[in-house]
């Protein structure tokens, strides 16, 4: 049977770690196909992808693709995404949306002029435990939120400082703009009006001058939150703890070398219910294993939006340009306060 929406032709710009994973996800998802890759810094992968490779985006005719994924170093990504949008094509740009609010604004404005929506790659929303947790916040399952604690620690490796990711020019910052924006995105998804009360950082283990260990505190009425991001933690760690008046959720792990993803959900004083047993015996526990399919699941939602032209609805959706801009604005505000 022919697909009534037609097959979507997707260009991948930047064929490094994430570009390759997005291309692989495209091969697994229905309704779309990889139509080309662009990257000046990798050997031609067309023999494995089956799609033409270009060293420069300027060589690709806009008529040859319907949408693009931009997965390039932060100092190139804004101009690359702008070129795609100016060619009239929607984009999925890997986080962050611009290094500055000015860049985020520019991209959001260009995207807003197109009929199809563009998105920012904040795939942590699509981790299964995070998804359940966010749905719970949206439905009020935990009651009024009192605590949110988000922790992301990266072990790094001896040559971490050689790439662009810890280079303040290539990356535009350190751990805040690197991995930290994922946590800021989750925090804003749970508490959009929360405000920063303090941020502390240390530097100096890596010789590039970036902030490498950050703790930030936030408050909104009775909600207190912390965000902790580190590139000196030696063991990869991802943890989200959330406490409301009526219950709590604890998510840990991210799959892969962050360990299996597990989720515990509990109700306040459930131990006191007749025959309940201990608090831990009353918890709902889920183990999502070691696979991390969040990039693929996020892309599936993006492809649906591109094919139908509609913004996705519901609590778990790919980050819109407005949401991406809000994360960049919060990140910029934190940089403004960094010691």
Ligand X SMILES: NC(=O)c1ccc[n+]([C@@H]2O[C@H](COP(=O)([O-])OP(=O)(O)OC[C@H]3O[C@@H](n4cnc5c(N)ncnc54)[C@H](O)[C@@H]3O)[C@@H](O)[C@H]2O)c1
Q: Which two tokens stand for residue 41?
A: 């810094």
Smallest distance from ligand X to CB 281, Å? 35
Q: Is 258 in the site for ligand X (CB under 6 A)?
A: no
Q: Is 95 in the site for ligand X (CB under 6 A)?
A: yes
Residue 202: HSE in the Cβ half-sphere, 13 Å Cα cutoff: 9
Site string for ligand X, 304-333 (x = CB under 6 A): ------------------------------
Q: Is 114 in the site for ligand X (CB under 6 A)?
A: no
Q: Which of 123, 208, 252, 328 binds ligand X (CB under 6 A)?
A: 123
To 5 degrees, how large is the angle CA 7–CA 12–CA 17?
Answer: 130
Q: Which of 38, 227, 300, 327 binds ligand X (CB under 6 A)?
A: 38
* CB-nearer residue toward ligand X: 252 or 292: 292
Q: Is 293 in the site for ligand X (CB under 6 A)?
A: no
* CB-nearer residue toward ligand X: 19 or 174: 19
Q: What is the largest CA-CA distance in the chain?
A: 70
Query: Residue 135, Cβ neighbours under 10 Å: how many?
Result: 13
Site string for ligand X, 48-87 (x = CB under 6 A): ---------x-------------xxxx-xx--x-------
DSSP per-residue string spanning 176-190: IIIIIHHHHHHHHHH
* CB-nearer residue toward ligand X: 15 or 142: 15
Smallest distance from ligand X to CB 270, Å? 34
Q: Which of residues 234-253 bind ligand X (CB under 6 A)?
A: none
Measured between alpha carbons, how far is 7 from 47 in angstroms, rounded to an integer?
22
Q: Which of 90, 98, 121, 247 binds ligand X (CB under 6 A)?
A: 121
Q: Which of 6, 41, 64, 88 binds ligand X (CB under 6 A)?
A: 41
Q: Is 16 in the site for ligand X (CB under 6 A)?
A: yes
* CB-nearer residue toward ligand X: 6 or 289: 289
Q: In the chain, which ranges are E strands? A: 8-13, 32-38, 53-54, 67-70, 91-94, 119-121, 145-153, 195-202, 213-220, 223-230, 237-244, 247-252, 262-267, 284-287, 319-320
Distance between the two ends of the chain, CA-based, in angstroms? 60
Q: Which of 9, 15, 152, 317 binds ligand X (CB under 6 A)?
A: 15
Under the phi-then-psi rule, with left for phi > 0, alpha for psi from -120 to 50, and beta for the rest, what region is 2? beta
Measured between alpha carbons, how far is 199 from 337 in angstroms, rounded to an integer?
7
Q: Which of residues 130-189 bind ligand X (CB under 6 A)?
A: none
* CB-nearer residue toward ligand X: 242 or 295: 295
Smallest distance from ligand X to CB 30, Å? 23
The dihedral sign for the CA sequence 312, 313, 314, 320: positive
Q: What are phi and psi of 312, to 5 degrees?
A: -65, 150
4: helix, strand or coil: coil
Q: Is 40 in the site for ligand X (CB under 6 A)?
A: yes
* CB-nearer residue toward ligand X: 71 or 82: 71
Q: Which of 66, 94, 185, 323 binds ligand X (CB under 6 A)?
A: 94
Q: Is 276 in the site for ligand X (CB under 6 A)?
A: no
Only one residue has tokens 């009020």, namely 140
In the bound state, the residue with its beta carbon closest to ligand X is: 16
Distance of CA 81 to the CA centre of its chain: 17
Measured between alpha carbons, how far is 183 from 214 in angstroms, rounded to an integer?
12
Query: How many of the chain's residues bind ligand X (CB under 6 A)?
Result: 24
Q: Which of residues 197-226 bind ligand X (CB under 6 A)?
A: none
**Which residues contact ligand X (rule: CB under 6 A)?**
13-19, 38-42, 57, 71-74, 76-77, 80, 94-95, 121, 123
């Amino acid at each position: 049977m022919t697909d009534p929406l037609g097959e979507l032709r997707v260009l991948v710009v930047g064929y490094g770690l994430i570009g390759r994973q997005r291309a692989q996800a495209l091969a697994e998802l229905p309704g779309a196909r990889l139509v080309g890759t662009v990257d000046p810094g990798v050997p031609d992968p067309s023999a494995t992808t089956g799609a033409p490779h270009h060293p420069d985006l300027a060589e690709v005719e806009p008529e040859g693709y319907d949408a693009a994924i931009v997965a390039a170093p932060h100092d190139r990504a804004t101009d690359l995404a702008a070129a795609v949008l100016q060619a009239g094509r929607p984009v999925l740009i890997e986080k962050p949306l611009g290094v500055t609010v000015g860049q985020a604004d520019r991209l959001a404005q260009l995207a807003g002029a197109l009929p199809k929506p563009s998105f920012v790659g904040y795939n942590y929303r699509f981790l299964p435990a995070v998804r359940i947790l966010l749905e719970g916040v949206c439905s009020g399952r935990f009651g009024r939120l009192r605590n949110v604690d988000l922790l992301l620690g990266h072990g790094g490796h001896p040559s971490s400082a050689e790439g662009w990711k810890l280079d303040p020019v290539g990356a535009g910052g350190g751990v805040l703009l690197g991995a930290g924006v994922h946590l800021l995105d989750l925090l804003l998804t749970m508490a959009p009006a929360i405000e920063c009360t303090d941020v502390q950082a240390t530097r100096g283990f890596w010789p590039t001058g970036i902030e490498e260990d950050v703790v930030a505190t936030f408050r909104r009425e009775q909600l207190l939150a912390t965000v902790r991001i580190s590139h000196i933690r030696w063991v990869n760690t991802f943890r989200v703890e959330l406490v409301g008046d009526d219950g709590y959720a604890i998510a840990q792990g991210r799959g892969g070398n962050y360990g299996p993803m597990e989720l515990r959900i509990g109700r306040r004083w459930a131990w006191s219910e007749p025959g309940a047993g201990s608090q831990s015996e009353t918890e709902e526990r889920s183990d999502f294993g070691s696979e991390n399919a969040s990039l693929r699941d996020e892309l599936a939602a993006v492809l649906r939006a591109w094919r139908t032209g509609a913004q996705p609805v519901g609590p778990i959706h790919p980050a819109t340009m407005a949401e991406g801009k809000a994360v960049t604005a919060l990140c910029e505000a934190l940089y403004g306060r960094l010691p």
